[in-house]
Structure formats: structure tokens, C-alpha cells
Amino acid sequence: MSLGKQKLGSQGLEVSAIGLGCMGMSQSYGPADEAESIATLHRAIELGCTFLDTAEVYGPFVNEELLGRALKGRRDQVTIATKFGFRIVDGKQAGTDSRPEHIREVVEASLQRLATDHIDLLYQHRVDPAVPMEDVAGTVGELVAEGKVRFFGLSEAGIANIRRAHAVHPVSALQSEYSLWERNLEPQIIPALKELGIGLVPFAPLGRGFLAGDVRRAEDYPEGDFRRGDPRYQGENFDLNVAAASTVRDIADAKGAKPGQIAIAWLLAKGPDFGIDIVPIPGTKRRSYLEENVAAAGIALDATEMLGLDMALTPDKVSGPRYNERTMSLVDR
């Protein structure tokens, strides 16, 4: 089975119906395995999962370099999304920086690391409160005119900044956390995306693994694993969330599918429901999970199943914030 294509936004961007989040190949989810990561990227291309998501801050830098090596001779088979917007000091993220001159520096460096002459989709990784959004969008618009960037995206931006950016240079996609597990976009952001013709790229579509069914408590993950500090994996929150996610497991069992596949199939069905383009980017560094995730495109959920999932994981049934306080402070809401 090869994945079909999906439009993303109104400017002509077309990507695979499911993408691949590459961050975990270099950070946050245990030790890196370059050989398996490159094999996973090559298998993704074979399966038609060709929308690849990276960022300069992943690693930092090493994730883009990994893609540059893996895609040698294959660049024209994939759509690469990367991101700017952080200041990186001594190998660590040190606040936001979307000054126009910094955007240009980052893009030149990303092109080098990715071994390419253009970025297909360039996101502002987080809104920078010190730089007017008009300046950010204007700079990306110049990069589009120069042929270094094809399409413009935002990540975790709020409605006001989405509108301000879109008025200067069309925004093709908003990347934000959205899943059965995290529904914060539904009341306001999704209607605005529909109005403006902007696509949605949900990251963490499996709730950082929680909806995949094979979860452990925060303290049972190794040092360096992001989930050790995830409030939803801790203490009483963990127990309550395991109970809330049981409906996903039940539906998966009834359909002979994996829970993670049900979570992705729910997202794919939400696009037509909401009247917007939705392309989830489940992240993995292993071929086996990639194949599972891509197969979710072949799973159909009926109206009863969709309603059951909607009701089981309403925001009041998910316990704990999605980020710790410091990380949450970077989200533009």
C-alpha cells in the first residue's frame, strides 16, 4: 500500500496523507540509532510517507544533518518541513529569536545541513513576542520570492498571530499539538483555519505514545526521555489517563487494529468533519512503528466509533497539562 496525497492549505502545497515526525530520531525519546533511523526514512519513501518534519533545534542541528545524509539522491522524492525561531546557545535552546536577519541565517544553515537548495515548508517554531508577526511573514515571503522556501507555516500560534501573518504572506499550514488526547484547537483555532484556508499538521498525534497503548509511568522511562517530565504520565494523572484511553484500546481490539492506528484514523476522519486539511505527523525512529502508523490510512471509523472516541476523551477527562510550565509558556494562546 502506498499512501495517497493530501492538499495542505490553499497555496498549492500537496503532501503525503500522513507525514513522519523526525525529532525522536535525535532527541527526547531515548538513545539515537542512526542506522535504524536512516532505514526508517528510506522505508517511509517506499511507503509514500514522504512529508518529513524536522527543525534546526532538534538535536540541535543533528536532525537536519541526519536527513541531509539519508536523503542523498532522494531529495526530489520528499517534502521537507523545517523550522526557525529559537536562539540556540551552547547547544541548548535559549528563548525565541525570529528577527528577520536571524531567520535568514537559520535558513542558510538549514539548507546546508539538509543538503538542498530549497525548503518545502518553513515554519516559525514558536511565536516571538519581541518581533512583530508582520516582519516574520514578510521575511519568509522574501525567501519564497528568492526560491529558497516554497510555503510558509506557523507552529503553536494563536488566532491573532495567524491572522496577522496570513495578511502579509499566505500561511499554508499550522502545526500544533492536536489529537484525541489534546483538543485545545477545537473551539477557536480550527474554525479560523477553515475560514482562512489553512491546513493543520497535528504533532504528537499519539499523545507522545500514550494512545499507542504501551505506556509506562513517568519514572519508568530512562533519563533523558521527555516523558519523565510529562505531567500526564505522572502520579494520579497517569491512572486517570489510562482509564480515559481504554475506549481507544477497546475499539482497536474490535477492529483488529492497534490503539495508535485508531488515534491516527480519528484524526484523518476529522479533516472532512471540520472542512479543513489535516495531515498528522506521528514521530518514530523505527520501521515497525512507521509501517503501523502508515497502515492507519486504511482504517475507516464509522459515526458511532467516532462519537465514542470523541466522548471518551473530552478535555475534562484528560488529566494534567500537556507540558510543564516553562514549555507551555512558549505556546501562543
- With CA atoms as reference, report the closest residue to 280 among 264, 291, 266: 264
Q: What are the CA-CA distances from residue 233 to residues 104, 210, 224, 322 (Å)?
A: 38, 8, 15, 10
Q: What's the rounded Cα separation, in Å, for the pair 27 and 25?
A: 6
Per DSSP bridges, beta strands 92-96 and 173-177 are unpaired
Q: Would you call 58 a catalytic residue per the annotation?
A: yes
Q: What's the rounded Cα separation, in Å, for the pair 209 and 227?
A: 9
- With CA atoms as reference, report the closest residue to 70 among 95, 34, 26, 32: 34
φ/ψ of residue 215, rounded to 5? -115, 155
Q: Does residue 179 contact residue 269 with C-beta atoms inside 8 Å?
A: no
Q: What is the four-CA torsion angle of 72, 76, 82, 88, rounded to 10 degrees?
A: 30
| Sign of the C-alpha dihedral computed for residues 97, 98, 99 and 105 taken in this order | positive
Q: Is 134 helix (H, G, I), strand (E, B) or coil?
A: helix
Task: Round to the nearest angstrom and report the end-to-end CA distance of the chain.
Answer: 39
Q: What's the rounded Cα separation, in Å, for the pair 217 and 138?
A: 45
CA 117 to chain centre: 23
Q: Of 58, 123, 233, 289, which one is the catalytic site residue? A: 58
Omega cis (within 30) before 60: yes
Interaxial angle between packed helices 34-47 and 287-295, expressed in degrees from 0 to 180 and rounded to the nearest 10: 30
Active site residues: 58
